[in-house]
Amino acid sequence: MPNTLQHYIDGLWVDSQGGRTVAVINPATDQNAADLILGTAADVDAAVVAARRAFETYSQTSREERVALLERIVGEYQKRVPDIARAIATEMGCPISMAQTAQAGSGLGHLGQALNALKNYEFSEKIGDNRVVREPIGVVALITPWNWPMNQILAKVGPALAAGCTMILKPSEEAPSCAAIFAEILDAAGVPPGVFNLVQGDGEGVGTALAQHPDIDMVSFTGSTRAGIMVAKNAADTVKRVAQELGGKSPNIILRGTPLDKALPGGVGGVLLNSGQSCVAPTRMLVHKSQHDEAAEKVGALFAAKKVGDPQVEGDHIGPVVSQRQWDRIQGLIQTGIDEGATLVTGGTGRPEGLSQGSYVRPTVFANVTPDMTIAKEEIFGPVLVLMPYEDDEDAIRIANDTPYGLGAYVAGDPAHARKFVSRIRAGAVFVNAGGLAFDMPFGGYKQSGNGREFGKFGLEEFLEVKSVIGALPEDVD
């Protein structure tokens, strides 16, 4: 098992200064999967001192040196994919097949794009006799969630390393083992001491200390909007940069007249993937009123056919949600949907048939959902889809935008028809006809879904500061 009882600081595994131990629960069995040390502000201080010291030298490394380092990390990461997959399946319940491919594979995808961005990025631009240079912002705090653990770690660590920053990572306390494995990967790849530091812990103890720390130059946070607001408030007194990727309630507009057998499976798959625990999942399906009932029947059949089971078993099924606390919240929202008058098409409260333990949720579909209903407004973060009828294109756009979130949106149907929606929808990404995430495209949200962008060169730029050099210099001076 990876080491989750110590922190990785300044190139060494070290004991916590005053931390306490808690259990990490396997959501499929309700049993203890690991023990975790919850760090303290003193641990954060030690990590920041190491990162600040390392920044003096690492920030001055050449592009070629950082390319070589990232290439070594890729090699070491590939060796540990099976370990990463087992940790994800055990701690957050993602089926082992998906954990091995999409979950662990997303980390490799981000490493590859960080490499591409670093190789091709112009860090210096001449404007007349002057020059604009882009330099690493400094010491950065990276706070990541449990739902896509390696995806979010590498979406931050890869470009931060490419930019020349040093860092402190605080992963989710609900899925900490991936981060410990990743620290071992970086150690094996020869990352210099202090460049990467791992402090395990929770938001109250470690996250707050990171956001408030005067010697941290930037916080990059992925998580709930509620937690993101607290990070921003804690960071405000030190006027540090805060980049955030937060919650979502993405609409999926099925254009009027679109063949449903063609349009529905992609939207269904996007909700069921990862047991619905994806911030960009298309959880609000908007269907023209003339096709709503047919869509409800077809979507209900697809959800009802989805198997739910043991994440350690290979196969095309979904696992549990991450925790009993999350299960309780989802059950409450499903019951609220019933109480507020939405039509329950399939699923509902309780565990799926045959499962007497674990945080398993019945794949659930509601129809005839109106914008004022709780399940149309709140991010459920489970395998729950709501179908909402609309009158015409203008009504669809109004409903799509009727949310405090703006992370993603989906449009299915004739591309010429879909085009008119792209500029009207307030979201950071619009996926047309089941287009998926691309690691070289910017990812981030409008409104309360956050600020800043990740992935590829856009993620690299988040970790760079802009400097004007005014006055003629020799051409070889950057």
Enzyme catalytic residues? 245, 279
SS3 letters for the chain? CCCCCCEEECCEEECCCCCEEEEEEECCCCEEEEEEEECCHHHHHHHHHHHHHHHHHHCCCCHHHHHHHHHHHHHHHHHCHHHHHHHHHHHHCCCHHHHHHHHHHHHHHHHHHHHHHHHHCCCEEEECCEEEEEEECCEEEEECCCCCHHHHHHHHHHHHHHHCCEEEEECCCCCCHHHHHHHHHHHHHCCCCCCEEECCCCHHHHHHHHHHCCCCCEEEEECCHHHHHHHHHHHHCCCCEEEEECCCCCEEEECCCCCHHHHHHHHHHHHHHHHHCCCCCCCEEEEECCCHHHHHHHHHHHHHHCCECCCCCCCCCECCCCCHHHHHHHHHHHHHHHHCCCEEEECCCCCCCCCCCCCCCCCEEEECCCCCCHHHHCCCCCCEEEEEEECCHHHHHHHHHCCCCCCEEEEECCHHHHHHHHCCCCCCEEEECCCCCCCCCCECCCHHHEECCECHHHHHHHCEEEEEECCCCCCCCC
SS3 letters for 307-344? CECCCCCCCCCECCCCCHHHHHHHHHHHHHHHHCCCEE
Residues 6+ apart with CB under 8 A from 138: 55, 59, 165, 166, 216, 217, 218, 465
**Tokens for 274?**
């990862």
Residue with tokens 């697809």: 302
